[in-house]
Amino acid sequence: MAQRFDRPWRLNASLQHGMDPPLTRVLLYYAHPGHRYSHSNKAMWDLAQKVDGISRVDLYSEYPRFNIDIDQEQQRLLDHDVVVMQCPLFWYSTPSLVKEWIDLTLEHGFAYGHEGTQLKGKTLLMALTAAGPHDAYSKEGYQRYPLRTFLTPFEQTAHLCGMEFASPYVLFGSLRAVEDGRIPPHAEGYRRLLEAYRDDRFDLTKASELDVIEAEHLNDLIKD
Amino acid sequence: MADFLLLAFIFLAAGVIAVPIASRLGLGSVLGYLLAGIAISPLLAALHVDIISIQHFAEFGVVMMLFLVGLELEPKLLWEMRTKLIGLGGLQVGLTTLVVTAISMALGQPWTVSLAIGFVLALSSTAIVLQTLNEKGLMKSDGGQSSFSVLLFQDIAVIPILAVLPLLAMPEVVELAFAAAEGGAHADDAHHGNGDHGTSLNLIAGFPGWAQMLATLAAIGSIVVVGNVLTRPLFRFIAWARFRELFTAAALMGVTGIALLMSVVGLSPALGTFLAGVVLANSEYRHELESDIDPFRGLLLGLFFITVGASVDFALLTANLGPILAMTFGLMALKAAILFALALIFKIQGSARWLFTLALAQAGEFGFVLLSFTTQNNVIPSAVADQLLLVVALSMLLTPLLFIAFDKIIAPRFSESSTREPDDIEGDSGIIIAGHGRFGGIVNRMLRGAGFKTTVLDYSSEQLEMLRTFGFEVFFGDATRPDLLHAAGIDSAKLLVICIDDREHITTLAKYMKAHHPNVEVVARARDRSHVYELYAAGVRNIVRETFDSGVRAGRFAYEVLGLHPFEAERLARQFTEDDRHTIRLLSEVYREDLPLSENPEYVALAKRLMEEREAQMKGGGRGFTTRDERGWVPPGKNDLTAILSDHAKRKGES
Ligand SMILES: Cc1cc2nc3c(=O)[nH]c(=O)nc-3n(C[C@H](O)[C@H](O)[C@H](O)COP(=O)(O)O)c2cc1C
């Protein structure tokens, strides 16, 4: 077990800096194959660096050749309570490496199935950016379904693993968000959201009443 | 000298003409040689050639063949054969001897002569059977292995038979002899000519029994020890000189030395070399030895078969045609019946049972040896012996026909089992790695890591010894030599990975493969770009530049260190690789072997164009190569976006 302390993403780093241990251990995954061209996700990721006491993994950076280290990933999951998956919406789903990560990491016997109870009680929070505007993601809109419909595979994945699927944090109209000046508030909100999760100040019950959470909802959901 | 040249020419010409014809007709090489011998026998008679002494010399081919057989047979396999060897072999020799003895007694021969005849005819022809089995690739099949077990047992049995035969000349002492300890008492009479040559080198014949025993054990022990311990330093010593023919000389020296040693202690030379072969079966020099000895074996056996053909006494045959033919067919039928019965008892199944039955139904070259030995010792009257010689020769002559019968009539009926057989025909891996240095070593480790068996050839004995100590199966030799490739199993190989480092050797080998083994996949190491062209022209398609991939990886690390996102670095590296491969492929198409690159106008023009294209891209602020997939991850631009949104608006309006 001693080797655990060598891992850079361990929370102990913050403990050693004399801080109180976080109430909730947050593990932030980020996946964007075109990070270099990103606006919204990049801004979010940059601010997330400022949040102390959480662990962060850039999946495409760690596994550029898709050579996922299953043992390491499972250990990461074991060591945390909340798993955040931040990525852009690509074809109503996640970028492909996330799928690969799910396929390999959520093994039978570990995450689900016989004796696969290791993730029970943990929470999965998706943080997504979608080019389509919010109103397009409705029965009447051109995307024809609400966003949550597209996320059902992930919701059910979490459910099968005994995890809570929290209401996702979403930036709609992401491509126009730069012009509209919506990126800074969304990124700032993201930071607050992560901190609130970390400190157990996020009202999960209230949040669960919402299909998706946008930056403007945060004031209602975060307890001070 | 001129005599020798004339004789050599006659034998060589006979073989060179007859064997291809026989092969073309599907008769096999053995029958070809035998017929050649018959054809030249009048000529040899006119020249007063001593065929028998040539035959004795040529029998050394059998010794070599057993050495080669031993090389293919690891000690483990030999141990697994032990039941067959003793059971099948012992019963075959014992039963055949008994029945033949009984019959010839019934025909009115005294029991001593009958027993001698029994011994003579019980043995089969190692030369013909092994040669044919090898030629047909049946050696490792069930029938082949069973036949081989019996032949090996016969080879061993010759030794006690030679000891007993002289006693038969003096029936009154036989009883005594059987009571006395074996060997000692009558060693003087039994000038144990070693089975194969008839030369009498036995130096220990006068020793007391226990001393003979000790000497024999010491001889065998020394083969095992020398084979295990001395071969390696010896070959390394020779490797220094870097003369190919020295290996051949050393291999021949080894085989003759062992034969000599065996003769000295009164054992069969064939048995000794066989044992040496088994000892060396696990050695990295196995394939080298095999390819060194093999041509000699082939030539000597060929000569041997020719002499068998030439020694048929047609005058005697025509004078006694009826009885001799009857004896020959009777003998073969009898031997076949006994073999068939044994095959049933030992549960040899399917076509293997028939192969076993038909293959061993003849008398063999040991018969010749024993016959001359018995006449010398006055056991068998020479009139009878001459007729028996004919029977033995005729039965050998007929054996190839039995093999043809097996091929044409029996094997097709069991086609299912015979198509399954090739699976275990070769212990060879089907994957040959030529060169096990820094490059081939990686390939080998990868293949083995994935569970593939490989055969590795390398010319550096130090390298090999190191690998040996790690338990790798590696063989010494120059992979560009066709005979060595053959010995390593190229004929049945799936894949050859060329990892040697000499540019010209790589190309030579690639060209050889294209010309002679177009169906074997080749992966070739290229020294540099222009070598790629060369190999491409030689027909290789799986070409790997030896430093390209590591260069690309170094470049990728550089990207990362410079702050590029690792995934971007990865994609750029991939794209660079693709682009480079693409250009090299284009350039390979215009490469011409007969022109240096700079004098090939097409090449120069294309190279220039490709270079300009990439330069233009770089000046345009882009990269020399672009990543195609990047576009997939770049969202549409502002203008596209406005257009998309207005499209949506329109569609909304319509619905
Ligand atoms: C391959 C690809 C597929 C996409 N599929 C969708 C989609 O199904 N729905 C959607 O709303 N946006 C889609 N988009 C737009 C992305 O969601 C948008 O580029 C991203 O949210 C912008 O975030 P960024 O600035 O961090 O790159 C897609 C973009 C790409 C490149």
Specify if B24 maps to a domain: no
Could you tell me how many residues make up chain B? 655
Number of H helices, E strands in chain A: 11, 6
**Same-domain check for residues B329 and B377:** yes
Amino acid at B181: A
Specify if B12 maps to a domain: no
Out of B379, B413, B447, pick the residue that ends a domain: B413
Strand ranges (E), chain A: 26-30, 55-58, 82-88, 123-129, 164-165, 169-171
> Three-state secondary structure along B561-610?
HCCCCHHHHHHHHHHHHHHHHHHHHHHHHHCCCCCCHHHCHHHHHHHHHH
pLDDT > 90? residue B497: yes
- Relative to beta strand B431-434, strand B495-498 is parallel
- Residue B635, ligand 1, Cβ within 6 A: yes
Alpha-carbon gap, residue A166 to A217, rounded angstroms: 14
Among B205-209, B261-265, B298-302, B409-413, the least confident range: B205-209
Q: In this structure, what are the phi and psi dihedrals at residue A79, rounded to the nearest 5 degrees?
A: -85, 0
As a whole number, mean pLDDT of residues A21-30 equals: 92
Tell if the CB–CB gap between B651 and A60 is shorter than 8 Å. Answer: no
**Same-domain check for residues B359 and B408:** yes
Q: Which candidate, B475, B478, B485, places its Cα nearest to that of B504? A: B478
SS3 A95: coil
pLDDT > 80? residue B176: no
**In whole angstroms, what separates CA A84 from the centre of its chain?**
2
**Same-domain check for residues B278 and B372:** yes
CATH number of the CATH domain containing B255: 1.20.1530.20
Could you tell me how many residues make up chain A? 224
> Quick one: pLDDT at residue A34?
92
Tell if the CB–CB gap between B567 and A175 is shorter than 8 Å. Answer: no
pLDDT in tens, A40-71: 999 999 999 999 999 999 999 999 999 999 99
**Same-domain check for residues B540 and B629:** no
pLDDT in tens, A87-97: 999 999 999 99
- Relative to beta strand A123-129, strand A164-165 is parallel
Atom of ligand 1 nearest to the CA of A171: 21
Average pLDDT over chain B, rounded to whole? 82
Out of B505, B530, B546, pick the residue that ends a domain: B546
> Quick one: pLDDT at residue B546?
94
As a whole number, mean pLDDT of residues B230-249 equals: 81
Alpha-carbon gap, residue B71 to B548, rounded angstroms: 40
Closest chain B residue to A144 measured between Cα atoms? B652
Alpha-carbon gap, residue B315 to B585, rounded angstroms: 72
The most confident of B13-17, B345-349, B522-526, by mean pLDDT? B522-526
pTM across the whole model = 0.62
pLDDT band at B171 (very low <50, low <70, confident <90, very high): low
Q: What interhelical angle do B365-376 and B111-122 show, nearest 10?
A: 150
**Same-domain check for residues B542 and B615:** no
Closest chain B residue to A35 measured between Cα atoms? B565
Structure tokens at B159: 């030794």
Residue with tokens 């199993």: B489
**Same-domain check for residues B642 and B532:** no
Angle at CA of residue B231, ends B227 and B235, nearest 5° = 160
Q: Please enumerate in sequence order all residues whose Cβ is within 8 A of that of B605, keeping only pairs 6 or more positions apart, or say none.
A: none
pLDDT > 90? residue B377: no
> Quick one: pLDDT at residue B627?
54
> Quick one: pLDDT at residue B165?
80
As a whole number, mean pLDDT of residues B413-428 equals: 45
Residues of A within 8 A of B638 (CB-CB) are 179
Residue B466: which region, alpha, beta or left (left: phi > 0; alpha: psi -120 to 50)?
alpha
Specify if B256 maps to a domain: yes
> Quick one: pLDDT at residue B474?
76
Alpha-carbon gap, residue B140 to B261, rounded angstroms: 30
Out of B385, B413, B441, pick the residue that ends a domain: B413
- Residue A136, ligand 1, Cβ within 6 A: no
**Same-domain check for residues B542 and B552:** no
Alpha-carbon gap, residue B573 to B62, rounded angstroms: 60
Closest chain A residue to B627 measured between Cα atoms? A34
> Quick one: pLDDT at residue B631?
59
- Are the CB atoms for B163 and B190 separated by under 8 Å? yes
DSSP state of A63: -
**In whole angstroms, what separates CA B529 from the centre of its chain?**
38
- Nearest-CA residue for ligand 1 atom 4 is A90
pLDDT in tens, B313-355: 888 888 888 999 999 999 999 999 999 999 999 888 888 888 9
Q: Please enumerate in sequence order all residues whose Cβ is within 8 A of that of B199, keeping only pairs 6 or more positions apart, or say none.
A: B56, B193, B263
Closest chain A residue to B651 measured between Cα atoms? A142
**Same-domain check for residues B396 and B342:** yes
pLDDT in tens, B445-468: 899 889 888 888 887 766 677 777
- Residue A10, ligand 1, Cβ within 6 A: no
- Relative to beta strand B542-545, strand B521-526 is parallel
Alpha-carbon gap, residue B10 to B235, rounded angstroms: 36
- Are the CB atoms for B336 and B361 separated by under 8 Å? yes
Tell if the CB–CB gap between B565 and A131 is shorter than 8 Å. Answer: no
Among A158-167, B364-373, B571-580, the least confident range: B364-373
- Residue A44, ligand 1, Cβ within 6 A: no
Q: Which candidate, A109, A130, A111, A108, places its Cα nearest to that of A121? A: A111
- Are the CB atoms for B360 and B89 separated by under 8 Å? no
**Same-domain check for residues B460 and B355:** no
DSSP state of B546: T
pLDDT in tens, B390-404: 898 889 888 888 888
- Are the CB atoms for A161 and A119 separated by under 8 Å? yes
Specify if B27 maps to a domain: no
More confident residue, B234 or A98: A98
Amino acid at A165: F
Number of H helices, E strands in chain B: 34, 6
Amino acid at B460: S
**Same-domain check for residues B280 and B300:** yes
Q: Which domain holds residue B556?
A: 548-655
pLDDT band at B562 (very low <50, low <70, confident <90, very high): very high
Q: Please enumerate in sequence order all residues whose Cβ is within 8 A of that of B397, keeping only pairs 6 or more positions apart, or say none.
A: B31, B34, B308, B309, B312
pLDDT in tens, B243-296: 778 888 988 998 999 989 888 887 778 888 888 888 888 787 888 888 888 889
CATH 3.40.50.360 for the A23-221 domain, yes or no: yes
pLDDT in tens, B601-619: 999 999 999 988 888 776 6
**Same-domain check for residues B238 and B292:** yes
Percent of chain B residues topping a pLDDT of 90: 27
pLDDT in tens, B423-446: 332 446 789 999 988 899 999 989
Structure tokens at A152: 């059902």
Structure tokens at B328: 């020959």
Average pLDDT over chain A, rounded to whole? 91
How many angstroms separate the alpha carbon of residue A173 from the centre of ligand 1? 9
Residue with tokens 């032949």: B151
- The CA-atom distances, in angstroms, between B610 and each of B440, B498, B555 are 33, 30, 21
| Chain B nearest C-alpha distance from A201 (Å) | 34
> Quick one: pLDDT at residue B428?
60
| Residues of chain A with a CB closer than 8 angstroms to some CB in chain B | 33-37, 60-62, 64-65, 131, 136, 142, 175-176, 179
Specify if B20 maps to a domain: no
Q: Which candidate, B598, B618, B620, places its Cα nearest to that of B608? A: B598
Among A19-23, B332-336, B625-629, the least confident range: B625-629
| Chain A nearest C-alpha distance from B565 (Å) | 6
- The CA-atom distances, in angstroms, between B502 and each of A113, B238, B284, B474, B633 are 56, 21, 21, 19, 45
Number of domains in chain B: 3
**Same-domain check for residues B439 and B395:** no
pLDDT band at A220 (very low <50, low <70, confident <90, very high): very high
Q: Please enumerate in sequence order all residues whose Cβ is within 8 A of that of A165, keeping only pairs 6 or more positions apart, or say none.
A: A123, A124, A154, A155, A158, A159
Structure tokens at B175: 């009883």
Alpha-carbon gap, residue B556 to B564, rounded angstroms: 9
Amino acid at A53: G
Considering only the beta carbons, identify the residue of B567, B635, B651 that sits closest to A33. Answer: B567
Q: Which candidate, B425, B354, B349, places its Cα nearest to that of B140? A: B425
Angle at CA of residue A216, ends A215 and A221, nearest 5° = 85
Atom of ligand 1 nearest to the CA of A128: 21
ipTM over 0.95: no
R_g over Cα of chain B: 33
Percent of chain A residues topping a pLDDT of 70: 91
Among A30-44, B93-107, B478-492, B576-590, the least confident range: B478-492
Alpha-carbon gap, residue B69 to B71, rounded angstroms: 5
> Quick one: pLDDT at residue B130?
86
Residue with tokens 């959470």: A213
pLDDT in tens, A110-167: 999 988 999 999 999 999 999 999 999 999 999 999 999 999 999 999 999 999 999 9
B79-94: string of b/e by CB count within 10 Å (b at 16+)?
eebeebbebbbebbbe
SS3 B62: helix
pLDDT > 70? residue B623: no
- The HSE-up count of residue B139 (CA atoms within 13 Å, CB side) is 17
Tell if the CB–CB gap between B570 and A64 is shorter than 8 Å. Answer: yes
CATH number of the CATH domain containing B438: 3.40.50.720
> Quick one: pLDDT at residue A8?
44
Q: Which candidate, B434, B525, B424, places its Cα nearest to that of B475? A: B434
- Are the CB atoms for B183 and B212 separated by under 8 Å? yes
